[in-house]
Structure 1
Amino acid sequence: MLDRLEARLARERALVVAFSGGADSALLAVAAHRVLGERALAVTAVSPSLPERERRAAAAFARRHGVAHVEVRTDEAERPEYVANGGDRCAHCKSALLDALAPIAALAGGKIALGTNLDDLGDHRPGQQAAAARGAIAPFVDAGLTKADVRAISAHLDLETAGKPAAACLASRVAYGDPVTPQLLARIEAAEDALHDLGFLICRVRTHGDGAVARIEVPPADLDAAHARRAEISAAVRRAGFRFCALDLDGFASGRMNVLLGMPAVHP
């Protein structure tokens, strides 16, 4: 599988990897560095939707693995279509990302590469179409790799991200139709940081009612622990600025907000 991926990457003159620090983009950044050397650049898009802990982790990963890395600011929070938070929000976010990365790719004489894998193609991700329309490539898809394959290759290369849980952008926590604002995203980040400090390393703080209600998701195995510490969790979430705190008894699943669009959630 690694040979297939590296053969695909070797067809490119240069690559700018959209690097969030998650398992997918981390492997893509390392593989591109292995194949292209200084002709590969990992770029992290910084905006209110990127948790600071993920920003720091991405920079640290790049340093540890010798991957050339820079950050760039993106302006999706200033785009009315993104703020409106319709079902196509991800497309507007991806457009902002591509707008920021395109000049860098042009200077490098290469293409923009995204960490999309085969499993992503079945989820509700309108950003994929926006990226493809802008000429971005998806080497994992071209190499026929699933999420499990990405994790297996990462483990083979001893990457610390091999088992890293999914960490979607903070805007994915906001119910469709509720405006996405930097202030709300900051509250979500503060609440999730507090939950991490309490030991719930896999969690989501989903918001409803224009940010009044925080709906907490933890893995089903952690539900008893969360219930036992409900007073601490509620206090932490309210300190972050939410009026109500609820524990979702169905537990954590990626893409739970997509249920509002009639799409299935994706369990870990």
Structure 2
Amino acid sequence: NPRNRCFHCKDELFSKLMNIADEKGFNRVIDGSNADDLSDRRPGRQAALKHGVRSPLIEAGFSKDEIRELSREMGLPTWSKPASPCLSSRFPYRIEITKDALKRVELSEEFLKSLGFNELRVRSYNDTAKIEVAADDIERLLGRELRESVINKLKDFGFKHVTIDLEGFRTGKLND
């Protein structure tokens, strides 16, 4: 789980997509990166550049908010869908990522979403889960009954310890 894990994953993905494009007679592979992606650490972007993958939303200068607004105006049902990056981004660098660990994070996030938390991450520090929710949702999560329910469920999923990040959710937090 190296710091440039996204490069390796995207390098493999784009390599395969370029082969498929060649087989099908396509002359381009494009991705959905947007202008906001340029302000965060994105090793996968380097893989896109390596393979000549085009990013039309970056080329047009569209930010995530502008894309959401245009999507809403066009009536697309996904206009307000929260970002859902790869589950590997829930693991600090150099912590081993296993199928079981990925499943534990996935189940935990699905459970929290079922409780009405939309903006969230469950970060995995081996046997410890650190829950990040929107700052406005922290107080609700800290309510005794809900807190105990969440702790018990995440322990059922295999975590030994469950913590709540009092700073709240922020994308790219593990890149700090």
What TM-score comes out, normalization by structure 1 length? 0.63
Residue aligning to 2:133: 218
Stretches of structure 2 lacking an aligned partner (at least 5 in a row): none
- Which of 99, 108, 118 does residue 182 from structure 1 map onto? 99
Q: Find the aligned partners of 1:100 and 1:182 in 2 and give their Cα distance.
A: 22
- Which of 74, 77, 90 does residue 157 from structure 1 map onto? 74
User: For 2:41, what is the secondary structure of its paired residue?
Assistant: coil
Q: Deviation of residue 89 (structure 1)?
A: 0.7
1:46-69, Cα deviation, whole Å (9 max, x unpaired): xxxxxxxxxxxxxxxxxxxxxxxx
Tell whether the 8 Å contact from 2:91 to 2:123 is kept in structure 1 after alignment.
Answer: yes
Moved more, 221-230 or 195-204: 195-204
User: For 1:114, what is the secondary structure of its paired residue?
Assistant: coil
- Which of 181, 184, 192 does residue 109 from structure 2 map onto? 192
1:105 aligns with 2:21: yes
1:116 aligns with 2:33: yes
Q: Find the aligned partners of 2:75 and 2:169 in 1 and give their Cα distance.
A: 27
Q: Find the aligned partners of 1:198 and 1:168 in 2 and give their Cα distance.
A: 20
Q: Find the aligned partners of 1:182 and 1:100 in 2 and give their Cα distance.
A: 22
For residues 1-268 of structure 1, the aligned pairs below 5 Å read: 85-106=1-22, 107-208=24-125, 211-228=126-143, 229-259=146-176
1:96-150, Cα deviation, whole Å (9 max, x unpaired): 2112312221114231111111111010001101111111000011112111211
- Segments of 4+ moved more than 6 angstroms: none
Q: Deviation of residue 257 (structure 1)?
A: 0.8
User: For 1:112, what is the secondary structure of its paired residue?
Assistant: coil
Tell whether the 8 Å contact from 2:82 to 2:118 is kept in structure 1 after alignment.
Answer: no
User: For 2:29, what is the secondary structure of its paired residue?
Assistant: strand
The amino acid that maps onto 1:221 is D
Cα RMSD (Å): 1.1
The amino acid that maps onto 1:99 is S
What TM-score comes out, normalization by structure 2 length? 0.94
Q: Find the aligned partners of 1:141 and 1:192 in 2 and give their Cα distance.
A: 29
Tell whether the 8 Å contact from 2:121 to 2:133 is kept in structure 1 after alignment.
Answer: yes
Q: Find the aligned partners of 2:104 and 2:27 in 1 and give their Cα distance.
A: 38
Tell whether the 8 Å contact from 2:109 to 2:121 is kept in structure 1 after alignment.
Answer: yes
The amino acid that maps onto 1:166 is A
Stretches of structure 1 lacking an aligned partner (at least 5 in a row): 1-84, 260-268
Q: Deviation of residue 198 (structure 1)?
A: 2.1
The amino acid that maps onto 1:89 is R
Q: Deviation of residue 167 (structure 1)?
A: 1.0
Residue aligning to 1:63: none
